[in-house]
Amino acid sequence: MGLFDKLRGELIDIIEWTDPTNNTMVYRFNRLDNEIKMGAKLTVREGQMAAFVNKGQLADVFQPGMYTLQTDNMPILSTLMGWKYGFHSPFKAEVYFISTRQFTDLKWGTKHPITLRDPEFGPVRLRAFGTYAVRVSDAGKFIRQIVGTDGHFTTEEVTDQLRNMIISRFADIVGESKIPVLDLAANYDELGQFITGKIDPEFADYGIDVTKMLVENISLPEEVEKALDKRASMGVIGDLHKYTQFQTANAMEEAAKNPGGMAAGGMGMGMGFAMANQMGSAMGAGQAAQSQQAPAAPPPLPQKNPFYLAINGQQHGPFEMEALKPYLQNGQLTRDTLVWCQGMANWTPASQVGDLASLFGSTPPPLPPQ
């Protein structure tokens, strides 16, 4: 190897990164002890940013594009290294490539149940999980706050911290929302939006944007779900007496299909009838006891339909009979006032409505004209 080849091998003239993974957020360009050649080509692909770091201090950040490294497009690094009058020799600096694409299908979930107070069930414990997506929005802030000197930073190294922030805000939002447990499933989208609004400023402190937040499931403890299943089953059954009759009829039909087991079937049918009779007797006795304990109450008095009045061309009401008396006394309700109630086809003068005729019985008719 000649001297020229040796010098060329010690200098880096092409800087680029092709990401073969789907979880790498930051990659430090591997140059070992080689120096970067002034005038080297820097290629930053779409979905990437490149940051130069000098002695642990962040310098210039490059957006997607192809660059020829010169002092004029590295102003911060030139200042840090004291290149006041131009510089053409090789130099040393750390180059970090930051992936700015979206990292999707990141998981979050509660490690332990969250205890909340539900208006219907009282104190309950909930578990929840879902997915979210993030992307790096500020490369400098992300390197300073999260990455540090890590040469190969992946999503797994930051998801624990992000998940804890999400769960904390989730518990706070669900507790403040006062949404009943049985209605949470209808508000998954809204919860995801609220959580995003809460955590987005905190993620921004790390140079990260939350692009999507999904709540996939909120579940109750197993014993509570079993109790809800039983409650739903009782609602489906409805009338227990009719359900027992239905079960007995099914047992008789099954016994008829099995002639060889008629004896056993007859015994089973007899037991079924006995149980049905006992349950029916118990239910009948309970109803009789209730009827004996509770004195018979007369039915409610029939109520007359309320009336609407047409006063000065406007509809007023509805009014019960007692409420019409002040209108009669102040002259707003007369024999010629149009009235209507349910069951009438049209508005009719009050004097022609039988239910109102008694109101005008003690009221003298208007005086005849002079």
Report which secondary-structure segment, H or E, holds 204. helix 188-204
pLDDT of residue 35: 82
Residues 6+ apart with CB under 8 A from 52: 58, 59, 60, 61, 62, 74, 76, 77, 93, 94, 95, 96
pLDDT of residue 6: 46
Residues 6+ apart with CB under 8 A from 173: 191, 194, 195, 198
Domain boundaries, the chain: 3-99, 103-223, 307-360
Question: What would be the CATH architecture of the domain defined by 103-223?
Answer: 2-Layer Sandwich (3.30)
Structure tokens at 205: 């402190």
pLDDT of residue 3: 43
Residue with tokens 């008694």: 358
pLDDT of residue 68: 93
Which residues is 136 bridged to in the sheet?
A: 208
pLDDT of residue 27: 92
pLDDT of residue 263: 47
Contacts 24+ apart (CB under 8 A), 86-94: 87/38, 88/38, 88/39, 89/38, 90/11, 90/35, 90/36, 90/37, 90/38, 91/35, 91/36, 91/38, 92/35, 92/36, 93/36, 93/52, 93/53, 93/54, 93/59, 94/28, 94/29, 94/52, 94/53, 94/54
pLDDT of residue 100: 92
pLDDT tens string, the chain, 370 residues long: the values are 454 444 444 567 899 999 888 889 999 998 766 688 888 999 999 999 999 998 888 899 999 999 999 888 898 888 888 887 677 788 888 899 999 999 999 998 888 888 888 877 788 888 888 999 999 999 888 988 888 878 888 888 888 888 888 888 888 888 787 888 878 878 888 888 888 888 888 889 989 999 998 988 888 777 776 766 666 666 655 566 666 776 777 777 777 777 555 444 455 555 555 555 655 555 555 555 555 555 566 766 666 788 888 888 888 888 888 888 888 888 888 888 998 898 888 899 988 887 777 777 655 666 677 6
Residues 370, 367: Cα–Cα separation, whole Å: 9
* Residue type for position 263: A
Report which secondary-structure segment, H or E, holds 78. helix 75-81
